[in-house]
Amino acid sequence: MNFEFSSDQMLLKDQARKFLEGEESLKKARDVLEGEASFDENLWKSIIEMGFTATTIPEEYDGLGLGYLELCVIAEELGRSLAPTPFSSSVYLATEAILRFGSDDQKRAYLPKLATGEIIGCFAHSESNTSPTEENISCSFDGSKLTGQKIVVSDGDVADFAIVSAKNGGSVGLCIVDLKSEGVEINTETTLDPSRSHASFNLNSSAEALEGTSWESIQELLDRAAVLFAFEQLGGAEACMDMAREYAMGRFAFGRPIASFQAIKHKIADMYIAVELARSNCYYGAWALSTDAPELSTAAATSRVSASQAYNECSKENIQAHGGMGFTWEFDCHLYYRRCRQLAANIGSQAVWKDKLISSLERANQI
């Protein structure tokens, strides 16, 4: 037993952190938020050069063939630095879908290009104001033709292809649609976190099946992605705690640093508690993901719920600790506040993941 990342993995994490600092990822997140671009292309190129997009893709498909633990430490740093790129959509979801469910031909067609960043993928699942279920998915796919609508697709307007959930006959499965093909209408959506881009799709186009996929495959995909999203959330949460701490040490009121007021100290101590619990749960998730452990769905939901909570606590209380400064456009507090919300919504709400957690424990209990 060993409950830590290896020294090589910690080194990779450190490298990723320094690299993202050097790239001024945080400043670029603000630029994307304030500008017209959907993501930062230069940062994306540098991330690709670093090989991050190729992390878990096997060498036979031009990837690095590393494990998920490596991807977890990278995710944490991307989250800490709010990297404004389509990484999560393309790597945690699209790459993962092809890796898990693609045929040999599909793997050969997509993985090498995903590894080199030549193409970007995304995942289209939501359709309405309620969480997707096997019953309420209305997109339909007959084996070659895909019709229907998808909304809040992260990176939908920058991706080259999408993994789409759709009904085929009575059951829901996954298919791949080329977003440049005829009959695909893409509309950019305005969200609360413009440092990440989102789009809706009107689909009346050809698509190819990810053979053998089912509603369970979608849950498996989401579980795996949840661990990686949780690491991004963890990185963001810790960044907020660090910001609050640093600001409170430097800001004086009543003749002393505000960090010496107990209300502020205890607030930051509570952030620390939330971050530590989330970190420990994320490690559990990382282990389950990297070993395909039978308890993956429990571990994934645990890390997701815990990291969402930590990020929420830290991003809102970070604003509070900054006082009026925290409410200004100029300070970075709101970048984290926004991203926290974006990540919390991205693969399903807290209520959905809490329900998944208890459901997986109910299943485990029946065995």
Q: Interface with other proteins by CB under 8 A: which residues? A: 1-6, 69, 245, 248-249, 256-257, 259-260, 262, 264-266, 268-270, 272-273, 276-281, 283-284, 286-287, 290-291, 293, 301-302, 305-306, 309, 351, 353-355, 357-358, 361-362, 365
Q: Shortest gap between Cβ of 355 and other proteins (angstroms)? A: 6
Question: Residue 50 is encoded by which pair of tokens?
Answer: 């670093």
- N residues, the chain: 367
Which amino acid is residue 125, in one-letter code?
Answer: H
Question: Residue 68 is encoded by which pair of tokens?
Answer: 């998920």
- Bridge pairing between strands 208-209 and 198-206: unpaired
Q: How far is CA 197 from CA 87, 256, 362, in A?
A: 12, 42, 37
Q: Shortest gap between Cβ of 286 and other proteins (angstroms)? A: 6
Q: Give, to the nearest 10 degrees, the angle between helix 350-366 and helix 296-322.
A: 150
- Residue 4 or 330 with smaller CB distance to other proteins: 4
- Residue 129 or 263 with smaller CB distance to other proteins: 263
Which amino acid is residue 9, in one-letter code?
Answer: Q
Among 116, 86, 88, 114, which Cα is nearest to 102's? 114
Q: Shortest gap between Cβ of 278 and other proteins (angstroms)? A: 7
Q: Shortest gap between Cβ of 27 and other proteins (angstroms)? A: 26
Cβ contacts of 291 within 8 Å, gap of 6 or more = none
Cβ contacts of 215 within 8 Å, gap of 6 or more = 134, 171, 172, 173
SS3 256: strand
Burial of 128 (0-12, 13-18, 19+ CB in 10 A): exposed
Place of tokens 């009107």: 202
Q: Shortest gap between Cβ of 188 and other proteins (angstroms)? A: 34
- Residue 115 or 258 with smaller CB distance to other proteins: 258
What distance in Å separates the CA atoms of residue 296 and residue 228, rounded to the nearest whole number?
Answer: 13
- Residue 175 or 305 with smaller CB distance to other proteins: 305
Q: Shortest gap between Cβ of 65 and other proteins (angstroms)? A: 18
Q: Shortest gap between Cβ of 326 and other proteins (angstroms)? A: 18
Q: Shortest gap between Cβ of 106 and other proteins (angstroms)? A: 31
- Residue 182 or 362 with smaller CB distance to other proteins: 362
Angle, CA of 15, 16 and 18, to the nearest 5°: 65
SS3 37: coil
- Residue 325 or 351 with smaller CB distance to other proteins: 351
Among 243, 190, 227, which Cα is nearest to 82's? 243
